[in-house]
């Protein structure tokens, strides 16, 4: 009921996506992309319908879908030359069928572009190393995609088909003239949202890698496992990411069951390109004291929904200035001030 521009959902199966989410959300102006976890590729059609995956929905009147991608962590791991022959890759990473789904969108009205990611990591506590490797692979692939997207050609056809009323007038008045596609010098300039169930708390290697941009190969979550260059040299990524709820000092939990209450779900955003302007608050504590855990009648999942509102930051262009050297002599140059 908050009419979000973008929805990211995890753990929905193929049948639910096709028969419930896609048709029902279509009536609310949403288009979607979806991929099931990789094990669905090894199953028959009937069995595959029950495999869950990740979906991204976006408002069709606001956004154009420029590209979509599937990242299968196990496939990326075994295809890395530096991981050939690493037993931990085959014994720990490869059996996990987790994925990430990527959507590259353009705002029809403003021309601003946006990368949206939705993922779901391994849940088991004893797979802390696997979760770190999954995120390292995710960020590595995102960096490559973002560079490709920074060179993406302008979107030529952004006008939306509009129905007219019986008298021939536009249903809601004339549509605004679409702005030209925004240009980006490199991938890190494109606004980025990384959403999902990370099954990781704020003291984990996953959290540190995402927020700090790097992780030492000696991090405790990696243990003694061997994962090629990741455990030889450490991991890094070029993005400046922050949890959208990081300004809330004591955010209690996103997962609430009788024996587990922690924050493990996140909406990460690129701080250089986006600014948080609103958040959905926590559930009333007087209500929480009456329930042992989720799901229940009011909350049909053991995970709470997160909602964040963002503004795209203005781009700071290099300005031409005139330097005065006296005697009327001036020289033009670039202004590097922020």
Query: Of 142, 36, 44, 139, whose CA–CA distance to 97 is shortest?
Result: 36
* Residue-wise pLDDT tens digits, 33-87: 999 887 767 767 777 677 789 999 999 999 999 999 999 999 999 999 999 889 9
Which residue's entry shows tokens 């879908």? Answer: 65
Predicted confidence at residue 249, as pLDDT, reads 79
Distances (CA, A) of 297 to 257, 291, 301, 304, 321: 14, 11, 10, 13, 63
Average pLDDT of the chain to the nearest whole number: 88
pTM greater than 0.85: yes
Of 13, 88, 197, 208, the catalytic one is 197
Predicted confidence at residue 273, as pLDDT, reads 98
Catalytic site residue 302?
no
Predicted confidence at residue 173, as pLDDT, reads 60
pLDDT band at 175, cuts 50/70/90?
low
* Residue-wise pLDDT tens digits, 294-337: 888 898 898 999 999 999 998 765 444 443 434 444 433 333 33
pLDDT band at 244, cuts 50/70/90?
very high
pLDDT at 165 over 60: no
Share of the chain above pLDDT 90, in %: 70
**Angle (nearest 5°) at CA 178 between 275 and 267:** 25
| Cβ neighbours for 152, distance < 8 A, ≥ 6 positions apart | 66, 67, 104, 113
Give CA–CA dist 88/82, Å, rounded: 13
Q: What is the mean pLDDT of residues 178-206?
A: 96
64: tokens are 């154009």
pLDDT band at 159, cuts 50/70/90?
confident
* Residue-wise pLDDT tens digits, 259-293: 899 999 999 999 999 999 999 998 998 998 899 88
12: tokens are 């929905």
User: How does 7-41 read in b/e, with b if 16+ C-beta sit within 10 Å?
Assistant: bbbbebbbebbeeebbeebeeeebbbbbbbbbebe
Domains of the chain: 6-160+175-335 (3.60.10.10)
| Cβ neighbours for 91, distance < 8 A, ≥ 6 positions apart | none
Strand pairing partners for 275? 311
């Amino acid at each position: 009921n908050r009419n979000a521009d973008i929805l990211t959902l995890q753990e929905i199966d193929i049948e639910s996506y096709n028969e419930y989410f896609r048709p029902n959300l279509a009536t609310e102006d949403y288009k979607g992309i979806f991929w099931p976890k990789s094990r669905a590729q090894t199953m028959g059609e009937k069995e595959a319908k029950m495999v869950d995956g990740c979906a991204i929905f976006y408002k069709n009147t606001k956004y154009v879908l420029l590209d979509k991608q599937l990242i299968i962590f196990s496939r990326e791991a075994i295809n890395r030359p530096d991981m050939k022959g690493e037993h931990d890759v085959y014994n720990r990473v490869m059996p996990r069928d987790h994925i990430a789904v990527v959507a590259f969108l353009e705002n029809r009205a403003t021309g601003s572009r946006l990368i949206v990611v939705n993922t779901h990591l391994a849940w088991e506590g004893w797979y802390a190393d696997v979760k770190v490797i999954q995120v390292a692979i995710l960020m590595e692939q995102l960096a490559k995609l973002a560079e490709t997207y920074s060179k993406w050609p302008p979107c030529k056809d952004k006008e939306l088909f509009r129905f007219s009323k019986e008298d021939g007038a536009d249903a809601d008045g004339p549509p605004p003239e679409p702005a030209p596609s925004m240009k980006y010098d490199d991938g890190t300039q494109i606004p980025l949202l990384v959403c999902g169930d990370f099954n990781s708390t704020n003291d984990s290697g996953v959290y540190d890698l995402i927020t700090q941009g790097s992780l030492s190969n000696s991090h405790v979550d990696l243990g003694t496992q061997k994962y090629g260059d990741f455990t030889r040299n450490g991991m890094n990524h070029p993005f400046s990411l922050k949890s959208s709820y990081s300004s809330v000092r004591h955010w209690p939990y996103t997962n609430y069951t009788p024996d587990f209450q922690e924050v493990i779900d996140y909406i990460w955003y690129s701080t250089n390109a986006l600014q948080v302007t609103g958040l959905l608050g926590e559930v009333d504590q007087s209500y929480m004291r009456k329930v042992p855990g989720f799901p229940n009648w009011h909350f049909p999942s053991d995970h709470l929904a997160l909602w964040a509102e963002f503004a795209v930051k203005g781009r700071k262009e290099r300005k031409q200035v005139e330097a005065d050297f006296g005697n009327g002599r001036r020289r033009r140059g670039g202004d590097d001030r922020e």
